[in-house]
Structure 1
Amino acid sequence: MRDYEDITAFLGQWGQFQSNVFFLLCASVFPNGFGAFSLVFLTDVPSHHCLIPEVNLTEDWHKAVIPIEVVNGKRELSRCSRYKLDVVRNLSAQGYIPGRDVNLTDLEQEGCVDGWSYSKDIYQSTVVSEFDLVCSEQWKQPFTSMVYFLGVFLGSFLSGQLSDRFGRKPVLFATMAIQTVFTFVEIFSPSWTVFSILLFFSGLGQISNYVSGFVLGTEILTGNVRVLFSSMGVCLGFAFGYMMLPLFAYFLRDWKSLLLGLSLPGLLYLPLWWLIPESPRWLLSRGRVDEADAIVRDAAKKNKVEAPEVIFEGYNADQTQAKEHCNFFSLLRTSNIRNTTVILSLVWFTLSTGYFGLSLNTSRLHADPYLSCFISAAVEVPAYISSWLALRSLPRRVSVICILLLGGVSLCLIQAVPQGLSGLSVALEMLGKCGITTGTALMFAYTAEIYPTVLRNTATGTCTTVSRVGSCIAPFLFQFGINFRYLPYIILGTLSGVSAFATLFLPESFGQPLPQTIEQMHKRESMTCPFITRKKHSKPVVLFENKL
């Protein structure tokens, strides 16, 4: 049976059909970019202190009622306590002057029983100021992000299997709709609990439509165009969306206005349903040859080329691959597939923990959170360009190992930087993020190339699901730095080193067409992975020609 790319070679690699799919799918991931890290602004903690109600106090006592604390070497107003107001009122009425007549350290303190006063220098309001997620409720701030990534976790797991069962296109648009609708509904949250529940459902669609769109483009496009799409095209679409986030947040400084601004662009994607086709590869894997034939003939018409009288000769609903109904357990069926899945999951976990941990830590890069976010987003552009160059020219294993080592070493070196060279620390952190981002882009393409069509979306969804465990941990990762500043960087650097070693045991996919069946995947592993025992053949097995 001829390979899909050989059969459809008459279309060419680039024409009107491919350009439409390429740019529309890249545009479809824009909302993922500015939606993924909106929590940086939505859950940011404004400067705050205990609210002082309207009471009769002298000017001196009004200024002194909030204790002064030293935090990270700086003196600032206490965020969670004040001097007992009844005592302060009596001292003020008696004419005592704080600091001269009264030693403030001797006064009894109390919590913020009347609430908090939040600074509006940067934000008009955030979720934190709206629901008072400070002091004893401070744990809810990182937990909010974790709830969101739990939604992403579940969405990654379910969408992969749903996409392999019902098609790439329906899942792509269903998850886009989920993301848009629940982002909008969050505006009307009456409490933090309701907001978190809605945020969870919003997370279900966040990465799911990205993965479905990625796999759809990977299966429709061929050759160098597929490499360009998977390594740079769809990733730059995400990065440009990410770079738009600080622009939205700068002009929409109220959390409800920001959510409204982030949800409305989703309506622009409704017409894409009639412009983006289903994956012919997936249709063939399900035995739906007539539908695949119609899509390819439409592509030939758009590209102004003549299609053969019979395109998919030999394909029919009774073929073995059409009967391969695969699910998550298919990834554990044999030792080779199981080992590959475990190693890929480890690498994905490492990259996701580093990527989201460093991205959510942007507020520490610069005093201006909008500039910090833009810097973090802009770093991703050269990262995705690097991934494209690597995918064009270098073996996948070598590329992933080098990138993991670059990111890990850069982060570990931060602890060796003198405190006076904060700019160098920021540069190393951004170099580490650049490496981890490059690795993430490489792994999307690498994973899609390793698994066959009948398992591709399930495998990609499963790997991203495991990686979301890392993203769930990420909001708490840099909390460890409160007591030991460099611990998060040491953890990420160590994970990168372990993952680089594990990558040695993965099969190579460079220069080979996408496998269609599980059998083809097994044969490729036996030929390209030096750590897998090879079966003896009377003749050399030649499965694929170099098509890239």
Structure 2
Amino acid sequence: MRDYDEVTDFLGDWGPFQRLIFALLSVSIFPNGFCGLSIVFVGDVPDHRCSIPANLNLSEAWMNRTIPLVPGDDPHYSKCSRYRLDVIVNLSETFPDPDLVNMSGVEQEPCLDGWEYSREQYISTIVSEWDLVCKNDWKGPFSMSVFFLGVLIGTFIAGQLSDRFGRKAVWFGTMAIQTGFTMIQVFSPNWEIFCLLNFFVGIGQISNYVAAFVIGSEVLGKSVRVIYSTLGVCISYAIGYMLLPLIAYFIRSWRMLLFTLSLPGLLYIPLWWFVPESPRWLLFKGRIREAEAIIQHIAKKNGITPPAVLFSELELEEMKSKSEITHTIIHLVKTSNIRAITMINFLIWMILSIEYYGLSLNTPNLNGDAYLNCFFSAAIEVPAYTTAWLLLQRFTRRFCLSGALFLGGSVLFFIQLVPSNLSVLTTTLVMVGKFVITSAFSMVYVYTAELYPTVVRNMGVGVSTMASRLGSIISPYFVYFGSYNEFLPFILMGGLTILSAILVFFLPETINSPLLETIDQMQNIKYFGFRTPCSIQHSSDKSEPAEKCDGH
């Protein structure tokens, strides 16, 4: 039986229809870039100190002395404690000049009257609105983790729904969830409701990214597939990410910022009438006539006359028999061969996500302006994706991915050796690490889509993305470790990334091989080796001479 690429070869790879789909799917990714990382500004922690009641009638000099100075390499005023106010009032009555008093013996107390927040950078964030500081400082990272937990659940559910009910329906459904719940989130009355809504935003956020990625991978020709996966959806994500600090710079209130970021989602409603369902998926669901209609529509848009008969009677019968076979997530771990590939993928995606989001969420903590740091962190993704595309054109998948991971991990692991007075060099190394890891993230999408067959491709990418979400759930706490030791997050992320570089070598090579179609074909793939024509041979082709199966 011919594979889908053979059947649709007459359509060409880069006609008017393919260009339109490439553009529409790519621009639909813009909101993912700024919605997924909006917490960088929405949940940032402004400078703060304990609030002092105005009715104490303290002089300005004594008001300035109510907050203890924390000694150390970087002396600063305490953010979570103050001197006992009854003692301060008594001292102010006895000593009008606070410089005459030794404050070292004065007892301290927590911020019983709340906090005062600097408005130099923000009008409001969720931290300043709900006092997510000091004993409640764990709630900031938790807000991010709840979002990524939603993404985890979303990718797990959406992957199976997409393989069962269609790529297009899940794509639009998850876009609607992301846009709708972001708008509702603007009206959150408290932190608990904000987290609950953030969970639902997460369900839709990356799920529609994966669905758009899979639609493009299956509708576009094989020569365009790598360009779409790198220069298409990935650069669109980076452009959306670059817009985030620009919008946040002019909108300093977190509620108005979220509302503004949610509006572009409404612009994608018309895409329903332009983007078709994946014909490849329809064929494997036995919906032959629908698939043929879409293929003929593509041919018409490209100005091509399609063959009178697309599929032979034998091919139609085989498709019908295959469509009766259902596939579940169990098929990704059913045999030792597929299970090994799935487990290695799982670990690689999780580690990649820890490093990618750990570096992205840490940008406000770097030296310099938070908005510029965020913009540079986003802008560096554009050349990173371009580099990934160029490398994938010239080298094997394993070499590209493993090399990128090893270089990124090494850069971050050795940041601790940079002298403290060379903060610019530290920031530069972080950006280099972000560049390399972003390239690796782009590569792993391409690689994973090529490893899994059509019948479970969306599920395979979805499970891999689910592993990525486990990493992203953990990543805020890697940033949190920086409050104990500024180099600890980089040491942990660097070491894990080098480990993932080693794991890549246990995956099969997929370069220059057509996409797999069935589970049986995937079972013949040997990990830690190259995929050969034999491994993708259809069962109906057993009469093919053996010499035609000689590998790469």
TM-score greater than 0.5 by the shorter chain: yes
**Aligned residue for 2:157?**
158
Pairing 1:93-104 to 2, within 5 Å after superposition: 93-100=93-100, 102-104=101-103
Tell me: CA distance 1:66–1:296, structure 2 relative to 1, closer, same or farther (3 Å). Answer: same
Pairing 1:231-250 to 2, within 5 Å after superposition: 231-250=230-249
Output the CA distance in 2 between the equivalents of 1:319 and 1:524: 25
Output the CA distance in 2 between the equivalents of 1:542 and 1:462: 34
**Aligned residue for 1:270?**
269
Tell me: CA distance 1:477–1:310, structure 2 relative to 1, closer, same or farther (3 Å). Answer: same
* SS of aligned partner of 2:17: helix
Structure 1 residue 320, shift from structure 2 partner: 3.8
The amino acid that maps onto 1:36 is G
Contact 1:57 1:93 in 2 (8 A): no
Tell me: CA distance 1:472–1:93, structure 2 relative to 1, closer, same or farther (3 Å). Answer: same
* SS of aligned partner of 1:49: strand
Structure 1 residue 264, shift from structure 2 partner: 0.8
The amino acid that maps onto 1:260 is F
Output the CA distance in 2 between the equivalents of 1:75 and 1:541: 75
The amino acid that maps onto 1:32 is N
Pairing 1:26-65 to 2, within 5 Å after superposition: 26-55=26-55, 56-65=57-66
* SS of aligned partner of 2:98: coil
**Aligned residue for 2:426?**
425
**Aligned residue for 1:112?**
111
**Aligned residue for 1:216?**
215
Deviations 1:39-78 (A, max 9, x none): 100110000011112121112111111222236x233221
Pairing 1:427-446 to 2, within 5 Å after superposition: 427-446=428-447
Output the CA distance in 1 between the equivalents of 2:362 and 2:550: 45
**Aligned residue for 2:14?**
14
Contact 1:128 1:141 in 2 (8 A): yes
The amino acid that maps onto 1:90 is N
Contact 1:145 1:472 in 2 (8 A): yes
Structure 1 residue 99, shift from structure 2 partner: 2.4
**2:383 is the counterpart of 1:377:** no
Output the CA distance in 1 between the equivalents of 2:327 and 2:242: 38
Output the CA distance in 2 between the equivalents of 1:190 and 1:37: 22
Moved over 6 A (4+): 543-546
Tell me: CA distance 1:137–1:125, structure 2 relative to 1, closer, same or farther (3 Å). Answer: same
* SS of aligned partner of 1:82: strand
**2:471 is the counterpart of 1:455:** no
Deviations 1:258-286 (A, max 9, x none): 01111111100110111111000000010
The amino acid that maps onto 1:44 is D
Deviates more, 1:26-35 or 1:56-65: 56-65
**2:541 is the counterpart of 1:540:** no
The amino acid that maps onto 1:540 is A
Output the CA distance in 2 between the equivalents of 1:67 and 1:298: 73
**Aligned residue for 1:308?**
307
Structure 1 residue 302, shift from structure 2 partner: 0.5
Output the CA distance in 2 between the equivalents of 1:24 and 1:98: 66
Output the CA distance in 1 between the equivalents of 2:279 and 2:352: 31
Contact 1:282 1:453 in 2 (8 A): yes
TM (norm. structure 1) is 0.95
Contact 2:18 2:220 in 1 (8 A): yes
Pairing 1:338-377 to 2, within 5 Å after superposition: 338-377=339-378
The amino acid that maps onto 1:225 is V
Tell me: CA distance 1:70–1:544, structure 2 relative to 1, closer, same or farther (3 Å). Answer: farther
Output the CA distance in 1 between the equivalents of 2:227 and 2:97: 71
Tell me: CA distance 1:543–1:196, structure 2 relative to 1, closer, same or farther (3 Å). Answer: farther
Contact 1:289 1:317 in 2 (8 A): no
Deviations 1:125-162 (A, max 9, x none): 00000100011111111111111111111111111111
Output the CA distance in 2 between the equivalents of 1:191 and 1:482: 26
Tell me: CA distance 1:217–1:92, structure 2 relative to 1, closer, same or farther (3 Å). Answer: same
Contact 1:512 1:545 in 2 (8 A): no
The amino acid that maps onto 2:163 is D
Contact 1:32 1:206 in 2 (8 A): yes
Structure 1 residue 428, shift from structure 2 partner: 1.6
Tell me: CA distance 1:32–1:542, structure 2 relative to 1, closer, same or farther (3 Å). Answer: farther
Output the CA distance in 2 between the equivalents of 1:137 and 1:526: 47
Tell me: CA distance 1:526–1:146, structure 2 relative to 1, closer, same or farther (3 Å). Answer: closer
* SS of aligned partner of 1:64: coil
TM (norm. structure 2) is 0.94
Deviations 1:496-538 (A, max 9, x none): 222222211111110111111112223344895499xx99x99
**Aligned residue for 1:188?**
187
User: How much is the aligned-residue C-alpha RMSD, in angstroms?
Assistant: 2.2
Tell me: CA distance 1:115–1:541, structure 2 relative to 1, closer, same or farther (3 Å). Answer: farther
Output the CA distance in 1 between the equivalents of 2:362 and 2:464: 24
**Aligned residue for 2:4?**
4
Structure 1 residue 119, shift from structure 2 partner: 0.2
Tell me: CA distance 1:465–1:541, structure 2 relative to 1, closer, same or farther (3 Å). Answer: farther
Structure 1 residue 312, shift from structure 2 partner: 2.8
* SS of aligned partner of 2:304: coil
The amino acid that maps onto 2:348 is V
The amino acid that maps onto 1:369 is A
Structure 1 residue 363, shift from structure 2 partner: 1.1
The alignment covers a number of residue pairs equal to 542
* SS of aligned partner of 2:238: helix
Output the CA distance in 2 between the equivalents of 1:221 and 1:173: 19
The amino acid that maps onto 1:125 is S
Output the CA distance in 1 between the equivalents of 2:550 and 2:311: 19
**Aligned residue for 1:389?**
390
Output the CA distance in 1 between the equivalents of 2:129 and 2:527: 58
**Aligned residue for 1:144?**
143
Structure 2 portions without partners, runs of 5+: 537-541
Deviates more, 1:493-502 or 1:8-17: 493-502
Contact 1:505 1:530 in 2 (8 A): no
Deviates more, 1:73-82 or 1:315-324: 315-324
**2:71 is the counterpart of 1:88:** no
Deviations 1:216-272 (A, max 9, x none): 000001122111001221100100000000011011100001011111111001101
Tell me: CA distance 1:457–1:311, structure 2 relative to 1, closer, same or farther (3 Å). Answer: same
Deviations 1:165-224 (A, max 9, x none): 111000000000000011111111111011000001100011100000000000001122
Deviations 1:470-499 (A, max 9, x none): 111100003223333322222222222222
Structure 1 portions without partners, runs of 5+: none
* SS of aligned partner of 1:193: helix
